[in-house]
Structure formats: structure tokens, C-alpha cells
Structure 1
């Protein structure tokens, strides 16, 4: 079975509708910025919907089957992202991001050393960028006493 662009476009529209439905009611307990937290999911849904519409209108192109082993890697990536979302608050941004980036690095063929260095750089670097540079509050998790 081959997947064509129109099927992917319809899937993108359904996904954009779900993002809109869940993101539209996001309200913070207090007002801290003029836009609010729902701006990002709604903007993301708009971009995904526009891409889906383009695929539906242009559509028709056949896509080659995935190479051997790709479906397993895709399922592992989905599992890693689900675990990341589930452990994010408890472990904290740095630990959860380091673990996820390390596992994804291994999934894409990096050695343990390369993946761990990249994961540590991503977890620590993004924390410094967002928490200190952009003043975005991120969960400290199990490292809370040291941060």
C-alpha cells in the first residue's frame, strides 16, 4: 500500500483541528503577557492546516515505501516523545531533554558518546537560553536543589 499526498493532507487537517480544539481554551491563571498561552498552538495549527490544504490541492504524488527498519524507528520516536512529555515535570527540563536527545541521537545512528554529549549540550544549553536568557520558567525537577 502506498500513501499519497492527499491522504497526508487530510491527516494534517485533522491534526490541525485537534490542536485548535485543545489549544483554544488555554487560559493562564493570571495575565502575564498580552498574547497568552494559546497563541502558539493556534499559530501552529494554522501552519499545519495550510500545509495540509496545499497537499490536498496539489496532491496525487505516490510516496515510496519506508526502508527496512524505518517503521520501528518511527514508533520508537513516538514512544520517546510520549515518555518525554510524561516525565518532563517530574525529572525537569534538563534531565528529560538530555535523556530524550540522547535516545534520539542513538536512534539516528550516533554513538553513545556522541549522543550523550549532544544530549547534555541540548539539555543544558536550551535551559540556559530559555530560563536565563528568555526568562521562560522551566521545571527544575530532580535538580531543583542545585538550580
Structure 2
């Protein structure tokens, strides 16, 4: 049952993401894709994942997978909400690392694994998006290290 709740929450969140991203437009068009593409892609992937979670028990009858407990679902949702709230203040790197730690714990990792994965994810994705793909990301409190924006 928790899978269906999480799936429905993902579908609602993806609809909200897609709706809010409709108005994204660059003041000066210097990128061929524009700022709307990434949130729309994420919303689409989130909707597909949500639909899969929502329909999976109905498609297979008794699910062979262990159901996600409601407590873990709420913790994951809270981690994502905190991520959104602290994104500008902490910056992409720290906010991503802060979100990845509780998510790693929810998915069964140890604290050491979750911390290592969170730090690696935050730093790797920052350099991938900001440096390799030239997507401007907020640096937040690490602006003195990362050449702040």
C-alpha cells in the first residue's frame, strides 16, 4: 500500500513540477534548449516512476518486492522538501549531499555509505552540470570555494 501512496505522491509532484516549469524562459536566449527542458525531463521521469509504483501491485498481484514502509516514504519526502527549501541557501552541492544522506539510509545503506554517496553525488553532479554542461547552479555557502554565483 505504501508503494501506491508514494506512486500517487510522485505523480502529483510531477504534475506540479511540469505546471510550474511552463513559465521558465531565459531573458536572453543563449542556450538552444532553455531552462524549461531539465525540470520537464525530471517531471516526466518522476511521473513514469510514480505510475510504475502505483500500478505495479495491480499488474503483478502480490508484489514480490518488499513494500516501502510509510515511515521511510515520509522521511524521503521530508528530505526532498528540505532540499527544495535549502537549495539557494546551501547551494547545489551541500543541498544535494544533505538530501542524499537520508535517502541512502531509507534505501538500506549504512550511515558511512550514505555520507560517502551524498558527498560524491553532490560534488560529481556539481562539476558535471556547472563545469561540463555549463548549467549555472547556486554555490550557496561554498561560494568562496567554487567561484560563487
Q: TM-score, normalised by structure 2?
A: 0.70
RMSD, matched Cα: 3.5
Cα distance in 1, alignment partners of residues 88 and 15 from structure 2: 27
Structure 1's 71 and 127: CA in aligned 2 closer, same or farther, altered over 3 A?
A: same
Question: What residue number does 1:80 align with?
Answer: 79
Question: What residue number does 1:92 align with?
Answer: 91
Structure 1's 129 and 39: CA in aligned 2 closer, same or farther, altered over 3 A?
A: closer
Structure 1's 95 and 44: CA in aligned 2 closer, same or farther, altered over 3 A?
A: closer
Question: What residue number does 1:120 align with?
Answer: 119
Contact 2:21 2:39 in 1 (8 A): yes
Deviation for aligned residue 1:130: 1.4
1:138 aligns with 2:137: yes
Aligned residues: 137
Contact 1:94 1:123 in 2 (8 A): yes
Cα distance in 1, alignment partners of residues 136 and 2 from structure 2: 44
Question: What residue number does 1:38 align with?
Answer: 36
Cα distance in 2, alignment partners of residues 123 and 113 from structure 1: 15
Cα distance in 2, alignment partners of residues 87 and 2 from structure 1: 27
Q: TM-score, normalised by structure 1?
A: 0.71
- Structure 2 unpaired stretches of 5+: none
Pick the structure with more helix per residue: 2
- Structure 1 unpaired stretches of 5+: none
